[in-house]
Chain A
């Protein structure tokens, strides 16, 4: 490719070491190009595709347990053909049900919406948008993916052990998760779960350190911090959150492993299980919850912040208008990041936590609603008097805002300890977090995928399928989760296999059928997207211009199919912020355009 030829010329001119290195490899082997690649763009694709495979598995699991919830009395012999004794008589068994919900949560939260999301867009966008040839350490970056891959393998293998995978909920609270006698899922499956997650934490740390150092040190000339696109700000804060909180989770997991195998009593005390009196005394099961939620809560921001960045960028480009309140957007990201560390115990209001301590967590939790509200109002104002192009990415960005409002507002209920006492661990919680960090994050991620697919693969995704994908997903998401608020108001507990024996909760049989049907339909729509994705990689409409969305950011100044090193010549210099859309009657002004004397100031 001409790109490489130019890099070779540059090599003569004495450019950076790794470019020079790259230049020598005219014909990269399949292994170095596609498998053990150190090119950030390839690593991004690896994260994305691995994440998609996990999303299909995790989504399929939700279809299975929705079958149980929607049709608790029906029997589906095909399930027994596939899953054997886990679905005896064509009915999903309780131990299978609990394994499914646990793995669904683990997979979606960690493997899809953390690794699949941050891994993809941090890797793809950081070097491209700040003007760098690659990450600060391409080697660590590669390792980050391969640790993620090995975590994936370990977790995947746990699906096939005889006693099944972990089944104590994705939060794996001890003592349930610590005692093999308490549940089948707490046997070897739980060990594999812990090992997988430990590997996962390593992957996240390697990635995160790399993201932060790249953003801080490798910006191109003129790219001051306040000229960075909001995507990069969001990724920076996400990485900082991960670096500071994942190690705490890691320690929690290690202590749990000790309790499981070395006879320690960090989390165990006064337990009689299966008629056997255990010797452990003095431990605190609540300690684990503190360690877990010290990551667990920042984790939801680790999931949602990158999508806020993606949506801000996509929305500004397609409204042909600058993002409203850039500094307020950065400030609110920062505020969310700081507050994210100070709210973890709002998951623990009913654990016997000191009510006085709890009151601080109420205050700090509801405080987070302020920066969140600022962001929503700024997005709304960005749309106001715009000239909105409904690209598929833009549709998803608008859907994101709708979902984020719906799910964010219900957080105000649950963050208030008085209401949490009533709503804790009911379907209201399921509705809240699925909308605000599940659906929203997915919609934001789809916005990112549709928007940057041309940069990744040099082709477009089919937009008719994209439109269908968006509308089916948005409608189904509301059908699935909106009525769940009512189930929550009825006090219906989550994580129940069957409600028929309860006088208080058995009134929602018909509703559960509707929800299950919508869940299956929306899963089918996601499969359609997956098909669109892989088909378009090979046969999609080709991108013919460098800047298909008329965007001002740096990634669109690279060739349509950039090689390793991104820019064939020198890295462009930046002269302005990334959101000059519609300024002085011009459709957009690229960041690389020098500021003209006659330009108006803002």
Chain B
């Protein structure tokens, strides 16, 4: 590295020296030739380059699209109903802005080429034209009204109330991982108090055990959703601001400490279906943290499994309530008759405690499985 590194630096230095000498020489030549002559030549060269840049640039943009389009999310349908609306909006905007882009760039570089200085021409004194100015105030205003109209129509659909049958899941971010909580049988997420957060006491989310609604809340290590069933995410953070970024669903919402946020969407395709759609056998729905949250930001990854109702039911039945894990002794005595973790959760509690001691609960649960 070092020798080749020095070599590169020497070569670059020499290259620069050559460029500089040429530049110096051309300046002397232009002084000798006379400034006017030199400027004429300069105008011809740059005028020509303007049109070259336009043509090559547009061709390169086309080529770039050929190479990269298939790597974007636009090459496949969005995986949520909201996402499909967002994609429609994206195409409308791309159409309008793309048209304006091509026309204005062509005009810019074409005018630059066409009206380069020449002895034959004098500039046209044209200080203003009210009609033209009204025209290009009105036309963009109309185009933007259309965009605002579509945008807000979708925006209110997407941020509006979720359907009544939506399932609810809590997603909590902390440096540098995501935690998930399901409300369990009662469909209610129990009360949380951040002062109760204590991994050593098996309470990584700060659930308040005095709230009966907490007793059946589940805390699995993965986020499972049901295809075609709306889901409302309640998003929290325990430390700094994170962001639940869901590129395939086209959704995004910050996780702010002290201020829970929500978003809802309806997954359209199961993970399995997406593997076929994208022709990528390794496809997974990923949660990407989209708000800089510290050194580990780039590794703050979560996985979502979208599956059929039947598969989901099977999976959720294998999950145990966090209450059972955290309070192995209290469970039967303190809360007789309340919603105890059902079904598969009735394994010997002592067993669970041993396994989860000193380990994050989520891990112990999955290893148990």
Contact = CB atoms under 8 A, between A and B. Distances in A.
Interface of A: 76-78, 90, 94-95, 98, 167-169, 173-176, 179, 182-184, 268-273, 275, 277, 281-286, 319-328, 350-352, 355, 358-359, 362-363, 366-367, 369-370, 373-374, 376-378, 380-381, 383-390, 395, 398, 401-402, 405-406, 409-410, 412-413, 416-419, 421-422, 424-426, 462-465, 467-468, 471, 474-475, 478, 482-483, 486, 489-491, 493, 495-499, 501-505, 507-508, 511, 524, 528, 531-532, 541, 579, 581-585, 602
A250 to B, nearest CB: 22
Contact of A464 (B23, B152, B253, B282): B23
Contact of B295 (A95, A323, A325, A373): A95
A419 B90 contact: yes
A422 B86 contact: yes
A328 B97 CA distance: 23
A395 B57 CA distance: 16
Given A271-B194, A350-B252, A389-B39, A425 B245 contact: yes
Given A490-B247, A583-B125, A352 B253 contact: yes
16 contacts: A77-B2, A173-B240, A173-B291, A175-B239, A182-B240, A183-B294, A273-B239, A285-B241, A321-B125, A326-B128, A328-B137, A370-B140, A374-B133, A388-B43, A425-B252, A486-B65
Given A325-B128, A482-B61, A359 B121 contact: no
Contacts of A386: 111, 115, 123-124
Q: Which of A409, A410, A468 has the most CB of B within 10 A?
A: A409
B274 to A, nearest CB: 11
B289 interface: yes
A275 B262 CA distance: 26
B197 interface: yes
A489 B137 CA distance: 30
A85 B259 CA distance: 38
Contacts of A167: 295
B222 to A, nearest CB: 15
B248 A504 contact: yes
B169 interface: no
Q: Which of A95, A499, A541 has the most CB of B within 10 A?
A: A541
A355 B97 contact: no
Given A355-B159, A405-B104, A406-B101, 12 more contacts: A98-B297, A269-B257, A326-B127, A328-B137, A370-B141, A409-B97, A419-B86, A424-B252, A475-B53, A489-B72, A493-B245, A508-B71
Contacts of B199: 275
A588 B108 CA distance: 24
B13 to A, nearest CB: 11
B86 A421 contact: yes
B125 A322 contact: yes
Contact of A418 (B61, B96, B158, B289): B158
Interface string B119-146: 0011111111100110011001100100
Contacts of A505: 288
Given A270-B257, A503-B282, A467 B46 contact: yes
A5 to B, nearest CB: 31
Contacts of A374: 133, 136-137, 140
Contacts of B59: none
Contact of A412 (B144, B152, B261, B284): B144
Given A320-B123, A327-B128, A417-B155, A351 B254 contact: yes
Interface stretch (B14-22, B315-323, B358-366): B14-22
Interface stretch (B24-32, B207-215, B223-231, B332-340): B24-32
Nearest to B86: A422
A504 B111 CA distance: 43
Interface string B285-301: 01011111111111101
A532 B24 CA distance: 10
B181 interface: no
A78 B155 contact: no
B19 A468 contact: yes
Given A286-B259, A418-B158, A511-B68, A168 B86 contact: no
A422 B85 CA distance: 11
A272 B238 contact: yes
Nearest to A102: B292
A493 B244 CA distance: 11
Contacts of B125: 321-322, 581-584, 602
Contacts of A320: 117, 122-123
Contacts of A184: 295
Interface residues of B, number: 126
Contacts of A410: 97
B126 to A, nearest CB: 6
A508 B251 CA distance: 22
B16 to A, nearest CB: 7
A308 to B, nearest CB: 15
A424 B46 contact: no
Given A325-B133, A412-B93, A421-B250, A98 B295 contact: yes
Nearest to A497: B298
Nearest to B16: A528
B284 A182 contact: no
A173 B116 contact: no
Contact of A321 (B126, B241, B259, B293): B126
B108 A383 contact: yes
B2 A359 contact: no
A422 B90 contact: yes
A531 B12 CA distance: 14
Q: Which of B5, B19, B22, B73 has the most CB of A within 10 A?
A: B73
Q: Which of B19, B90, B109, B257 has the most CB of A within 10 A?
A: B257
Given A275-B199, A390-B43, A384 B261 contact: no
Contacts of A471: 49, 53
Given A270-B194, A531-B20, A541-B27, A321 B53 contact: no
A409 B100 contact: yes
Given A350-B253, A418-B89, A425-B245, A78 B123 contact: no
B151 interface: yes
Interface string B50-85: 100100010011001100110111100000000101
The 9 closest A-B pairs by CB, nearest first: A491-B247, A269-B258, A352-B261, A355-B159, A390-B46, A489-B72, A464-B23, A582-B123, A496-B298
Contacts of A532: 23
Contacts of B101: 405-406, 409
Contacts of B136: 373-374, 377
B11 to A, nearest CB: 12
A477 to B, nearest CB: 11
A285 B245 contact: no
B195 interface: yes
Given A176-B293, A324-B128, A486-B64, A380 B46 contact: no
B291 to A, nearest CB: 7
B126 A381 contact: yes
Contacts of A602: 125, 127-128
B352 interface: no
A77 B72 contact: no
B190 interface: no
B105 interface: yes
A418 B85 contact: yes
B112 interface: yes
Interface string B262-295: 1000000000000000001011101011111111
Contacts of B283: 503
A211 B14 CA distance: 45
B175 interface: yes
Contact of B259 (A352, A405, A497): A352
A418 B144 contact: no
B330 interface: no
Nearest to A416: B151
Q: Which of A281, A426, A503, A508 has the most CB of B within 10 A?
A: A503
A508 B73 CA distance: 13
B92 to A, nearest CB: 10
